[in-house]
Amino acid sequence: MRQIQAGSALTIIVISQFLGTSLWFAGNAVIPELSQKLDLPELTGALTSAVQFGFISGTLIFAILSIPDRFSPSKVFLISSLLAAGFNFLITVFPLNFESLLAFRYLVGFFLAGIYPVGMKIAADYFEKGLGKALGLLVGALVLGTALPFLVRGLDFQYSYEIIFWITSSLAALGGLTVGLFVPDGPYRTRNPKFDWKVLPRLSQINALKGAASGYFGHMWELYTFWAFAPLALAYFTTWQAGSPSNSIGVFFIIAIGAFSCALGGFIAAKKSSRNVALSSLLGSGICCLLVFLLPENIGVLGFLFLLIWGILVTADSPQFSTLVAQSTPPTYRGTALTLVNCLGFALTIFSIQLTEWLVPRLGVSFSLGLLGFGPLIGIILFRFFQKKEALSQGLLK
């Protein structure tokens, strides 16, 4: 396949990432209808965690086998997109029941492991410099793709849940084919043809990598739980009840605005550094967690505006922490490092989501969401700790 310019490759990857990750919250967008058909009152935690657990399993296997570094990332992206789209589509083929729904959503999450981190790996192979800006656009596409099902639902065209799954499956397949056909492996790719059991122990010795990963983990403790419970939070602060068209449209904007902040953060990082953007955003979203304790219920538009601000801050650090992960890792193992950090970060989301779902009926919405602030706090502390150890090891501090 003929080589293409880095800018053209990034444009294709961004669009394809957006199309592929529309699968992520497709199930969440139709929870009210699925709950009614299955006669189950609450599916948010189970459906979200099924995808997250699938993604964790996929990224763990991809990382252990070093798949993004041993094989063509573009081909991995293509195959994963088609399989994820296929399993998402099968939800509408088989009789709907709780077990099959969770199984297919798990498999969708499993093959999303070949879309999100592998998309970042492809971008890293095209950008020796300016990676923070590139990943800002790329993660922004993931955020927008995540929000898309809520927009489709909020338009209230009387679509059934099958339509949502058909649309997102078609988009994901199109994204995979576009990368597979038009984006060759990047010029900065360093192929690692051998399977090496010592890769993970080697990565665990890099302090800069551990610092970037720690910040990312703190961010992940907060992010997906905030997204999963955004409909409930919006209903708490306004009169837009969860499952209503107005609530779905509101959630779309709360999530989608993070795409803008990811992209903007990438441009700022090019001038101010990825470290500064990542830590500032993580601190800002942590402050939002604290504010949840203070804001009253049913404050209307002010509540919606607050959630928009939170949606801006909770995402902008993600691509910059991923940039720091990539920059701290030898090129031969970059894909493995990105995939492994994604795996561990998403594993944390399982505990965060399930804990929050358990806490909400016991402590209330505001207190439960406010406790998410422990993630940013611990992430910042550990980031600074490992960065200091890295500086000491290089003789930069005495």
Q: Taking residues 376-388, what's their average pLDDT?
A: 92
Which pLDDT belongs to residue 398? 43
* pTM of the predicted model over 0.75: yes
Lowest-confidence segment of 44-58, 88-102, 216-230, 369-383 by average pLDDT: 44-58
The three-point CA angle 369-113-85 to 5° equals: 100
Which pLDDT belongs to residue 375? 94
Does pLDDT of 77 surpass 90?
Answer: yes
Beta strands in the chain (DSSP E): none
User: Taking the CA atoms of the chain, what radius of gyration do you get in angstroms?
Assistant: 20
Which tens digits make up the pLDDT trace of 43-75?
A: 877 888 899 889 889 988 988 888 888 889 999
Which tens digits make up the pLDDT trace of 228-267?
A: 899 999 999 998 887 788 888 999 999 999 999 999 998 9
User: Mean pLDDT for the chain?
Assistant: 87
Burial class (CB in 10 A: 0-12, 13-18, 19+), 153: buried
145 and 24 Cβ atoms separated by less than 8 Å = yes
Which pLDDT belongs to residue 169? 95
- Using CA atoms of 233, 234, 237, 239 in order, give the dihedral in degrees to the nearest 10: -130
What is the C-alpha separation between 195 and 177, in angstroms, rounded?
Answer: 27
The three-point CA angle 137-189-194 to 5° equals: 130
Spell out the CATH class of 6-393.
Answer: mainly alpha
What is the C-alpha separation between 202 and 311, in angstroms, rounded?
Answer: 35
Does pLDDT of 22 surpass 50?
Answer: yes
365-385 CB burial, b ≥16 within 10 A, e <16: bbebbbbbbebbbbbbebbee
DSSP sequence for 169-185: HHHHHHHHHHHHHH-PP
- Using CA atoms of 362, 343, 211, 117 in order, give the dihedral in degrees to the nearest 10: -120
51 or 141, which is more confident: 51
Q: Taking residues 98-102, what's their average pLDDT?
A: 93
Which pLDDT belongs to residue 394? 67
Measuring CA to CA, which residue among 175, 174, 173, 185 is closest to residue 74?
A: 185
93 pLDDT tier (thresholds 50, 70, 90): very high
Which pLDDT belongs to residue 103? 95
For the chain, the structural domain boundaries read 6-393
